[in-house]
Amino acid sequence: MPTYGKGLRGLSILTFATITVALILVFFYVPLDATQGFIQKIFYIHVPLAIVSLCGFVFGGVLAVMHLRTGDRRYDMRSYVAIHMALIFGVAALVAGSIWAKASWGHWWVWNDPTLVSYLIILLMFATYMPFRFSIEDPERQARYASVFAILGGAFVPLNFIAVRAAQQYVHPRVLTLTGSNLPGPMLLTFLVSLLGIALLYITLWKYEMAAKNARIQLRALRRRLLGDDDLSPLQRSAAPSL
């Protein structure tokens, strides 16, 4: 069985250092936005969180493909944790975005913007992933069906992104385009460092969660090996994968 804790200390230090540098850049280096002023500082946390959460959903889908291809249940576990983490990041992105919207537009939420609504649809779709898993009792079927769900959901993310890009009516600013960014140098640098920090945080927490799950599975296996099956309480029904 792989050990997910390997390299976690170095990764945690790197993540902490990158996020610290990003915060220093955000509050002490990057100039104030000419239009938005100080409120634009939310951009450096909101956009990286949203991008990383969407990439996390795609990552979960890719791992689900690996699960269906190989039949290895560890990929189902990895996919589950990837989606779980992406959901946490997604909720943080949504709340940070709502605060920015309230400050900038005077509303917590705007329903006529395709970017906002499509992101909410993706988030709500993946929010049903856990109850969906829980509804299937047989672990083998649960893993298989959840992988199909994760692949469809993961494929929906880039399709949704293209559809939103094609939209003509929008409220959300278009700062990053396929041909580059509309950000001046210092803002782009700060944004990229923030994006790197949030991406590293996602990877660190993914590894952290995988290591914790792996430890619990190993402990249960050890208990079974040492004390026999009779001394083990049966596994409770759960949305989380069991190996």
Partner 1 sequence: MSLYAIAPALPLHAAGKYVAGAYIVFVLVILIYVTIMAIRLGRTERALVELGRDIARREEAGGDAPGAPAELDLEGEAAHLSGASRGPGDSPL
- Residues lying near partner 1 in the complex (CB under 8 A) are found at 5-9, 33, 35-39, 41-42, 45-46, 49, 88, 91-92, 95-96, 99-100, 102-106, 110, 170-173, 201, 205, 208-209, 212, 215-216, 219, 222-223, 225-228, 231
d(CA 164, CA 140): 36
- Of residues 104 and 242, the one with the C-beta less far from partner 1: 104
Structure tokens at 46: 């909101």
- Of residues 79 and 204, the one with the C-beta less far from partner 1: 204
Whole-number minimum distance, CB 240 to partner 1, in Å? 11
Q: Which of 107, 90, 93, 115 is nearest to 42 (CA)?
A: 93
CB-based contacts of 168, cutoff 8 Å, min separation 6: none
Q: What are phi and psi of 177, to 5 degrees?
A: -120, 175
- Of residues 35 and 179, the one with the C-beta less far from partner 1: 35
Report the b/e string of 170-199 with b at 16+ CB within 10 A: eeeeeeeeeeeeebeeebbebbebbbbbbb
Whole-number minimum distance, CB 70 to partner 1, in Å? 27
- Of residues 39 and 68, the one with the C-beta less far from partner 1: 39
- Of residues 54 and 151, the one with the C-beta less far from partner 1: 54
Question: Which regions of the chain does DSSP assign to beta strands (E)?
Answer: 176-177, 180-181
Whole-number minimum distance, CB 22 to partner 1, in Å? 11
Whole-number minimum distance, CB 38 to partner 1, in Å? 4
Whole-number minimum distance, CB 65 to partner 1, in Å? 27
d(CA 147, CA 73): 10
Q: Hey, how many other C-beta atoms are within 10 angstroms of the C-beta on 5?
A: 14
